[in-house]
Amino acid sequence: MKTVLITGGAGFIGSNLARSLNAKGYEVIAVDTLSEQIHGPYPQTSSLVHSLEGVARLVKGSVTDKAIMTDLLKSADVVVHFAAETGTGQSMYNVHHYSEVNIGGTTLLLDILASVPHTVKRIVVASSRSIYGEGRYRDSSGAFVYPSQRREADCEAGRFNPIDPRTGEDYELCPTDENSKIHPSSVYGITKQVQEQMVMTVAPLLGIEPVALRYQNVYGPGQSLSNPYTGILSIFANLIMQGREINVFEDGLESRDFVFIDDVVAATVLAIEHQNAAGDVFNVGSGCATTVLEVVDHLSRHIGAGAAFRVSGEFRLGDIRHNFADLSHISDRLGYQPQVPFAEGITRFAAWVAEEGPARDNYDQSLVELRNRGLMKGVSS
């Protein structure tokens, strides 16, 4: 029986993956700090942690702890490296900590694998669509372009789409493929880029097959409802359940590629098992762009009819406008096809949220933190 070590294994994707691998007959070890931001103040009682019972051996500890990681790596055949701090906005003012956990954890992992006898054959590292920054567009001549960060003055003027400086016109949005320019616009994105490049570069020298998965926005039952720094679906769902108004940033037409957790787990299992995955980098998404206003519409219909929202024109520095995945590569090489359309996934998510009820509310605090640091701009509430 193969043993898979999942770092960050008590998290949203990790715990779902652990259940899937356990059902397929793998032995699963999860190492996780059980961070309060994700699991709440009493992590041992969190539903994610409970969901690992009988599924995985859970070790409470950090990927930055050399003794723990050295011990765990000795018995693994496959490592799935998920442990990370994941808040894009938060990363802009917790630079050292994000770097220490995300980059430091990865470098330590590789150092241990380089110096201690082990049986690890493959490492799957969680990268992110955030490494692409704004993603891929086309200009009026039909050429692909990769716009850099939007100008604050344009956003202040309500022009949120990336603009061609030569013509003053909006670029045309295209799906982002794996050969697109890597130019993250957040510290979080930079750490994901470094994690990916570090694993892809060092692992082959150690005789280990690396695979990097660039996840788009993952959602579904089990995602943290209490973490105010990630996941607009959770944030909006919480506000709706509390009867509070949703502040929709920009003009609400910004979009993301929302991919359902079951599809992400299926793609990750392919990355662990498929021979074609070795040494390669893949987008994992739904391949569809969904606007924030569409998200609000779906959630209001499923959670509370007529949820209140206000399109505020506010914007966060470093946020991108759009990004959705071109899935040709993962489809051709691994046979991955997303199975859960957004309309179905959001129904399943909303049903789960309704059962869970509202989580403790620290969303306002997260906005205050951004405002105090000058990272929230636009028409103020």
- # residues near ligand NAD by CB under 6 A: 29
Angstrom CA distances, 91 to 62, 94, 145, 290, 378, stand at 18, 5, 27, 25, 21
> Is 161 one of the binding residues for ligand NAD (CB under 6 A)?
no
Query: CB 75 → ligand NAD: shortest distance, Å?
Result: 17
* DSSP conformation letters of 231-259: -HHHHHHHHHHTTPPEEE-TTS--EE-EE
Binding mask 339-368 for ligand NAD (x = CB under 6 A): ------------------------------
SS3 41: coil
Cβ–Cβ < 8 Å for 313, 158:
yes
Q: Which H or E run includes 281? A: strand 280-284
> Is 228 one of the binding residues for ligand NAD (CB under 6 A)?
no
Which one of 106, 128, 186, 238 is in contact with ligand NAD (CB under 6 A)? 128
Binding mask 60-99 for ligand NAD (x = CB under 6 A): --xxx-----------------xxxxx-------------
The footprint of ligand NAD on residues 197-216 (CB under 6 A) is: 215
SS3 157: coil
Q: Which residue has the tokens 């900590």?
A: 97
**Cβ distance to ligand NAD smaller for residue 39 or 302:** 39
Whether 26 is catalytic: no
Using the rule CB under 6 A, give the single segment among 9-17, 272-280, 295-303, 361-369 that binds ligand NAD.
9-17
Euclidean distance between CA atoms 199 and 67, whole angstroms: 20
**Cβ distance to ligand NAD smaller for residue 229 or 249:** 229
Euclidean distance between CA atoms 172 and 53, whole angstroms: 48
> Is 103 one of the binding residues for ligand NAD (CB under 6 A)?
no
Which one of 5, 14, 29, 321 is in contact with ligand NAD (CB under 6 A)? 14
Q: Which of 22, 71, 14 is nearest to 46 (CA)?
A: 14
> Is 217 one of the binding residues for ligand NAD (CB under 6 A)?
yes
**Cβ distance to ligand NAD smaller for residue 176 or 224:** 224
Which one of 5, 13, 289, 350 is in contact with ligand NAD (CB under 6 A)? 13
Cβ–Cβ < 8 Å for 139, 171:
yes
Using the rule CB under 6 A, give the single segment among 19-27, 32-40, 138-146, 357-365 that binds ligand NAD.
32-40
CA 94 to chain CA centroid, Å, is 18
CA 68 to chain CA centroid, Å, is 25
**Cβ distance to ligand NAD smaller for residue 251 or 294:** 294
Catalytic residue among 26, 98, 132, 188: 188
> Is 282 one of the binding residues for ligand NAD (CB under 6 A)?
no
Angstrom CA distances, 48 to 241, 337, 340, stand at 21, 26, 22
Euclidean distance between CA atoms 23 and 6, whole angstroms: 15
Q: Which residue is nearest to ligand NAD (CB)?
A: 11
Residue 173: CB partners within 8 Å, gap ≥ 6?
Answer: 135, 137, 289, 322, 324
Instruction: Tell the burial category of 169 from Cβ atoms under 10 Å away from its Cβ (0-12, 13-18, 19+).
Output: exposed
Using the rule CB under 6 A, give the single segment among 31-39, 131-139, 145-153, 366-374 that binds ligand NAD.
31-39
The footprint of ligand NAD on residues 242-281 (CB under 6 A) is: none
**Cβ distance to ligand NAD smaller for residue 155 or 213:** 213
> Which chain residues interact with ligand NAD by CB under 6 A?
7-8, 10-14, 31-35, 38, 62-64, 82-86, 101, 105, 126, 128, 215, 217-218, 224
Which residues are catalytically annotated?
188
